[in-house]
Structure 1
Amino acid sequence: MKVRLLASLKAGLLAGLAAALINAILFFFFRQAGVITDSVLLPNQQPMTVVPVIVSSLVLALLGSVAYYLLARFTGDGYRYITIIASVLLILSFANPFFGIPGVTVPYALALNVMHVVVVAALLYALRQFTAPAPDPVKP
């Protein structure tokens, strides 16, 4: 069974849009709650805005869908492999806010980690729902 590239990209786009919307809502919720503040500066010396949240959600979901397509094409079980890889990368990403943002508070970092979970969950859900493998062509 083959997975179509277009189906994989559509799933990635849908996942990215859903994750971007959910993460934007979470961003404003955490900001309103005082968890994400302007007192913590990113490495570019700017406070966090919603723009990198949206862009990161979209780009990473699309990259994940391309990785899924390649895994599905060259292995027998792309979904299983992308689930494993995405889970490992998600766990590793939990350290990023703590080490990548100077002076980050624990609640701020945990809020960002929640957003990481949203992207991975949206991607895996969309891939499972929208990339029904195409049947292999019948050989005469």
Structure 2
Amino acid sequence: MISKLDIKQSLVAGLLAGITSAVINAILFFIFHGAGVITDTIYPQPDKPMTIAPVIMASIVPSIIGSLVFFLFEKFTNNGYKIFSIVAIVLMVLSLFSPFTVIPGVTMGYSLVLCVMHIVVPLTLLYFIRRAKQTKGMKTSTTL
């Protein structure tokens, strides 16, 4: 029997992933900002240096949206996790190009740090969704 997550379980996984990835990315931000890799002289947004607020939002919001997308794959397909994993990894790889191409005057170090932050979010989301599915599978098998 295939155990599928309901909307609540998917959202909880997304929220946990968002909070966890926000904490990880905030730590990375402060470490690399303190080390001078992320500088206030490079502007990812027009006339605005990188701050912690967009880092946190860019970790939480995509995780919650991703968990909703996962729920839709889970609901309407037989291989929701597999399909979602493929889509998430493809989008993650595509997102790795943006720090190099979108930010004017960006340094290699700055771009690489942003790439690491881009990797944290989808991998954390995949981890929490998988964990939720395993937990649900264990509960389902014990109740049979």
Identity of aligned residues (%): 47
Tell me if 1:3 matches 2:14.
no
Counterpart residue number, 1:62: 64
For the 8 Å contact 1:23–1:53, the answer to whether it is kept is: yes
Counterpart residue number, 1:120: 122
| 1:11-22 pair list within 5 angstroms | 11-22=13-24
Unaligned runs of 5+ in 1: 136-140
Larger % of helix: which?
A: 2
Cα distance in 2 between the residues matched to 1:70 and 1:109: 33
- How far the C-alpha of 1:130 sits from its partner, in A, is 1.4
Secondary structure of 2:117's counterpart equals helix
Among residues 99, 108, 111, which one is paired with 2:110 in the alignment? Answer: 108
Letter in 2 for 1:93: S
After TM superposition, where is structure 1 displaced by more than 3 Å over at least 4 residues in a row? none
Cα distance in 2 between the residues matched to 1:68 and 1:38: 36
TM-score under structure 1 normalisation?
0.92
For the 8 Å contact 2:5–2:132, the answer to whether it is kept is: no
Cα distance in 2 between the residues matched to 1:89 and 1:23: 18
Letter in 2 for 1:103: G
Letter in 2 for 1:107: G
For the 8 Å contact 1:40–1:47, the answer to whether it is kept is: yes
- How far the C-alpha of 1:72 sits from its partner, in A, is 0.6
Counterpart residue number, 2:33: 31
Among residues 80, 83, 88, which one is paired with 2:82 in the alignment? Answer: 80
Cα distance in 2 between the residues matched to 1:2 and 1:35: 43
Unaligned runs of 5+ in 2: none
Query: How many residue pairs end up in the alignment?
Result: 135
Give per-residue Cα distances to partners, 1:29-82, cap 9 Å, x unaligned.
010111100110123210000100000100011111011000011110111011
For the 8 Å contact 1:39–1:47, the answer to whether it is kept is: yes
Letter in 2 for 1:119: V
